[in-house]
Every structure is written in C-alpha cells, then in structure tokens.
C-alpha cells in the first residue's frame, strides 16, 4: 500500500484483498452488483476518504490476489458494485439527514412551547419575596431553557457530520475504481 501522504495528496484509496469475497458481505444474498460491502472494507474506505478534500478526484485501487472463476471482467463488476453500494449509502444518509431535520423542527416547536409555558408560569408567580418563591421562578425558567437543549444540539452540532458523511458517500459513489490482479502487473481498470 502507498504511504498515507501520497494517498492524501492524490485522493487514492488502496485496498488489498486475496479474493473478492473479502470485499463484499458474504451473508448478503443479493446479486453481486447489488451486494453490500463488507463492514470492515467500508470502514476502511470511508475512513481514508474522510481525510481527502471533496475537491480532488478520488480513486479506489483494489489489489485482487485471485480473479474469481466465471468472472470475465472483475474491474467492471467490482466498480459497479462499489459505486452502487456507496450510492445506496448516500441515499440512506440523505434520508437520515431529512429525518434529523424533521426531528429538530419538532423538538424546536416543543421546546419553544415549553419554554413559553415555563416563562408564563414564572411571571404569574409575580415578584413575591422569599427563597422558595425565587427558587421556583428560577427553576421554571431553567426548566424551559433545558427543554431547548435538544433542538439546539441538533441545529448546532448534529446536522453537519451527517451532511459531511452524505457528501463523502456521494463522492465515493462516483469515484473511479481500478482493479489490479495477481502480481499487480496487469491493470484491469482505467
């Protein structure tokens, strides 16, 4: 495998497997071109991709020890399967993002409504004197603002990693996939 600095500069992700079954989930009964990537292979590819800029072209180089029997063009088959898988993951992540935003809107409506009720209740207590009175008013105000934590968490922190991951998957779904077999002297992809 090339050095990490070379890979970062060129947008190259290299994977070495002895056989194709190491790249794809063997438990998935789908046809080969629709098969899920092996979880470890996906994590490896995604972790490398997250180090690259989205502005540079990415390329996956699969070093394949053995060509599977009955497979005429492993480059085409592997390339289509990898791109199809990451296209599917990008769509799932887009759905997750939309669901997160919907959850954020509902949490915001709920939080603002609860905050308003707490503030209204605190104001109806008036400006009475006493420790318990002050604690109750402050407690209501604090409870109202605590209810705002969830929407603030979603809108300030949770959305951008999901959106970044969706962009990574989208970029992976369009990357060039090359396959080198055996000793690596014959390049099947281009």
3-state secondary structure of 160: helix
Of 122-126, 157-161, 168-172, 180-184, minimum mean pLDDT range: 180-184
If one counts the domains in the chain, the total is 1
Over residues 123-155, the pLDDT tens digits come to: 888 777 778 888 998 999 999 999 999 999 999
pLDDT tops 50 at residue 190: no
d(CA 45, CA 64): 15
DSSP letter (8 states) at residue 68: P
Over residues 77-134, the pLDDT tens digits come to: 888 889 999 999 999 999 999 999 999 999 999 999 999 999 999 988 877 777 888 8
Bridge-based pairing of strands 12-17 and 59-64 is parallel
pTM for this prediction:
0.74
Find the domain containing 65 and state its range: 4-187
Bridge-based pairing of strands 176-181 and 186-187 is antiparallel
Over residues 38-58, the pLDDT tens digits come to: 889 899 999 999 999 999 999
């Amino acid at each position: 495998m090339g050095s990490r600095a070379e890979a970062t500069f060129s947008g190259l992700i290299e994977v070495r497997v002895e056989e194709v079954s190491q790249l794809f989930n063997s438990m998935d009964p789908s046809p080969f071109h629709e098969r899920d990537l092996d979880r470890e292979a996906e994590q490896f590819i995604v972790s490398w991709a997250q180090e690259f800029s989205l502005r540079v072209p990415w390329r996956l180089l699969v070093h394949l020890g053995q060509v599977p029997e009955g497979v005429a063009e492993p480059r085409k088959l592997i390339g289509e399967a990898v791109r199809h898988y990451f296209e599917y993951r990008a769509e799932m992540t887009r759905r997750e993002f939309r669901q997160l935003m919907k959850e954020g809107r509902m949490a915001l409506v709920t939080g603002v409504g609860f905050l308003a009720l707490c503030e209204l209740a605190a104001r109806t207590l008036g400006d009475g004197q006493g420790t318990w009175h002050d604690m109750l008013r402050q407690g209501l105000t604090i409870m109202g603002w605590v209810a705002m934590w969830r929407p603030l968490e979603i809108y300030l922190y949770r959305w951008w990693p999901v959106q970044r991951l969706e962009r990574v998957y989208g970029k992976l779904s369009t990357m060039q996939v090359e396959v080198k077999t055996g000793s690596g002297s014959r390049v099947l992809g281009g």
